[in-house]
Chains A and B, each alone.
Chain A
Amino acid sequence: MALLEVKDLKVRVEEREILHGLTLTVNEGEVHAIMGPNGSGKSTLSHVIAGKPGYEVTDGQILFKGEDLLEMEPDERAAKGVFLAFQYPVEIPGVATMNFLRTALNAQRKARGESEYSTPDFLKKVREVSKSLNIPQDMLKRGVNVGFSGGEKKRNEVLQMALFEPSLCILDEMDSGLDIDALRIAADGVNALRSPKRAMVVITHYQRLLNYIVPDVVHVMSRGRVVKSGGKELALELEASGYAQFEAA
C-alpha cells in the first residue's frame, strides 16, 4: 500500500522555485534512497514533508496514508507517523533530553487518543534503546543535543525514531560528519527498525551509507526533480559515474 505519495510537487523558497514538479511514491515496508548532488533539493523535500515553515508549495500534493499532509501542522504530521531525522539537529539548551523525549512521546500519544506512557515503561524503553545505540545515560540528562558530537546528535535522532515508532522515517544525510564506527552504530539502529509496516526514505549524497542501509529503490534527484529511479545497483552506478550525467539541463 502506498504510504507516501508526492505528486508533481512544486516548491518555492523566497520567490525562487527549488522543486520543479517532483513525484515519488513510497510503499509500506520499503526503503528508498534519494541521492543527488548538493543543492538538488533533497533537504527541501524532507522539510516540506515535515512541515517546516518558509516553503511555499505552488503546485502538486503530498498524501500520507491517503490524507493531505500539507493541510496538517508539523505536530499533527508527527502524531500521524511522519518522522524526519534532521541533517543538522538543533541544540536546545535548558530542555533536558529525557524531559523532551517524554513530553514529545506523550504529546503524540495524546494526539492519537492513546494513554500516556507510565514512567517505568517509558524509562525501560529509553534505557533499552539507548543501550543498543551506545548512548550513555548521562547524555540524556543534558540539554537536547547540547555539547553532543556530530555522531551523538545523529544517534539521538535514531533514538527518537525508535521511541516514537513512526511509520515513515526520513533520514536526511544521516552519514554526514560520521566516521565509520559511528555510522555503523547509527545504521544498525535504523536497520533494527525496518519492518513490513514501516517505510524509510534515506537521503544521501554518497553511496557509502547504502552499504549499511540497503535500499529497495534508489532515486536520483537533480535540480529539483527525480530524474532516474532504479534498484540498489543504481547507487553503485552513480558511485562510478558521478552525478555529472544528470546535471546537464
Chain B
Amino acid sequence: MNVAVAKTGSRRAVSDLFASAEGRLPGSPDVIAARREAFESYERLGLPHRRIEEWKYTDLRALVGEVLPLAAAPDAAASKRAAEAVKAHAIAGACKLVLVDGVFAADLSDVKALVAEASFKTLRETLEKDAGLLKTASTDAVIALNAALATDGVVLSIADGAQLSAPIQIIHVATAASTSAYTRSQVVVGKGARVTIVETFVATEAEAYQVNDAVIVSVGDNADVAHVRLMDDAPDAVNITSQFVTIGANVKFNFFNMTTGAAVSRLQGFITLAGEGSELSVNGVNLLKKTEHGDTTLVVDHAVPNCVSREIFRAVIDDRAHSVFQGRIIVRPDAQKTDGKMMTRALLLSDEAEADNKPELEIFADDVSCGHGATAGALDDSLLFYLKARGLPEKQAQALLIQAFVGEAIEQIADDSLREHVIGIAERWLEQRS
C-alpha cells in the first residue's frame, strides 16, 4: 500500500522520545548514526501487530500501545531498593552484574570478583568506540528500537579454555514506574570454555514499565554453556527480549527460560547451529495467570550437518492468561544428519485460559530426523481424585500435578543448585495460587 498515513499519537510520542533521549544515549558519531538509522527503520514499521506473521499472536499495538519514556537515573531510595532486590534474587556463589533501570550499577555488581579469564565492559564503554554491537541481521521493529535506544548492557568475553565454576548472573532491576529500559548485552564464549550465565529480571516497587532487551551470544568450538533466564518482572510490566545465539562445533549449549512475571512478554530466540557435532537443548516454562500474555518464539537454524537440537516447553495457564509458543526448526540443504525435536505442552487451569501453538519445520535436507509434538489440556481428573482420596486438598493436589508437569522441562537444567532455585520459583508461584 502506498498511502501516506498520518502519524498516530503513539508514533509521534516515540519520535519525541528518540529526540529527547538522543542526548542521553552513549556513543561515538558512528554510533549516533547507527542509532538514527535503526530508529528510522522502527518509525517505518511501528510496533509489531497481528498482520505481521511472526507477531500474529502477540499484537503489541493492541497489547502495549505506546512506548514509554526512558527511565531517569535512580535516586538514592531507588538504589537502596535495587540493592535489596539484588540480594533477594542473587544465586548463591554467582558473580553478579547488575543493571538498574537499564544502566549498569557498578556498586551493586561484583566486577572485581570476576576471574581474569572473563573480561567485562559495559555496553556504554563499548559504544564509545564501535557501533558493531548495535547491528544485527534482523529487521524486526522491536530489535530496531532496541538498537536505537539501548542505554547500557553487559559485554562479556570468556577466554578460550576458561572453566568458570561460579555462574555469572546478570540482574535487571526495575525501580521506576511508567518508564522504559533498553538494554543490549553480548556474551562471547571462547573455544573449549565452560560457563554458566544466569539472567534475572525483577522489579522493586516499579509498575507498568517496559523492558526491551537484546542479548547476543556467540559460542566457540568445544565450549560448554548453560544459560538460564528467569523473568519475573512486575505483574503489569512489559518484557520483550530478543536473543541471537551462534554456536560453533562440538558445543554443548543448554538454555532454560522461566517466565513468571510481566503482563505482556515475549522471548524471541534466534539460534544458529553453525558448527558440526553440537548439541543444543532449549527448554522453558511459562507460568501465567490473570490476564498475562506470555510468548516464546524460537527459531533454531541447523546450518551445518550432524547437530542435535531438543526443545521442551511447558506452559501453565490460569485465569484468562494467554500463552503463545512458536517454534521453527530450519534445516539447511547442507545440514544432513540433523536430529531436531520439539515438544510443547500447555496445561489449561481455567476455561478461559488460552494457548496458541505454532510449530514449523522447514526442512531442505533429505537425511534428517526431525519432529514436533504439542498438547494442550486440563489436569487429569482421575489423577486429581487419586491424590484427594489420599488426603490432599484440591489446590495442593493441583500443585503437585503442576510441579510434575513443569518438572519435565526443569529437569533439563543440569546444575543441582540452579535447578533447585528454579523449582523454588515454581513452588512460590503455586503457593500464590492457593
Contacts and interface: CB of A to CB of B under 8 A. Distances in A.
B392 A107 contact: yes
A92 B392 CA distance: 14
Nearest to A144: B386
Given A52-B385, A74-B385, A90-B382, A104 B401 contact: no
A105 B396 CA distance: 13
Contacts of B408: 94
Given A52-B385, A53-B385, A94-B405, A78 B391 contact: yes
Nearest to A104: B390
Given A89-B386, A92-B404, A103-B396, A53 B391 contact: no
A111 interface: yes
B381 A104 contact: no
A10 B382 CA distance: 23
B392 A75 contact: yes
- Most B CB atoms within 10 A — which of A51, A74, A92, A160? A74
B388 A164 contact: no
Given A53-B381, A94-B403, A94-B407, A86 B388 contact: no
B388 A78 contact: yes
A74 B404 contact: no
B356 interface: no
Contact of B386 (A73, A90, A105): A90
B391 A93 contact: no
Nearest to B388: A74
A100 interface: yes
B45 interface: no
Given A94-B405, A94-B407, A94-B408, A100 B389 contact: no
A50 B382 CA distance: 13
Contacts of A78: 388-391
B400 interface: yes
**Interface bin, chain A:** 20 to 34
Interface in A68-82: 73-75, 77-79
A79 to B, nearest CB: 5
- The B interface is mostly helix, strand or loop, or mixed, namely helix
Contacts of A73: 388, 393-394
B106 interface: no
Contact of B404 (A77, A79, A94): A94
Interface residues of B, number: 23
A234 interface: no
B422 to A, nearest CB: 15
Interface string A95-136: 100001001110110010000000000000000000000000
B387 interface: yes
A27 to B, nearest CB: 23
Nearest to A89: B386
Interface in B403-418: 403-405, 407-408
B390 A90 contact: no
B28 to A, nearest CB: 53
Nearest to A166: B391
A75 B393 CA distance: 6
B388 A75 contact: yes
Given A74-B388, A164-B391, A107 B404 contact: no
30 contacts: A51-B389, A53-B381, A53-B385, A74-B388, A74-B389, A75-B390, A75-B391, A75-B393, A77-B389, A78-B390, A78-B391, A79-B391, A84-B389, A86-B386, A90-B382, A92-B401, A93-B404, A95-B400, A95-B401, A100-B390, A100-B400, A104-B387, A104-B390, A104-B392, A105-B391, A107-B390, A107-B391, A107-B393, A108-B391, A143-B404
Given A84-B389, A94-B404, A100-B390, 12 more contacts: A50-B389, A53-B385, A74-B389, A75-B388, A75-B389, A78-B389, A92-B404, A94-B408, A103-B396, A104-B390, A104-B392, A160-B390
Interface of A: 50-53, 73-75, 77-79, 84, 86, 89-90, 92-95, 100, 103-105, 107-108, 111, 143, 160, 164
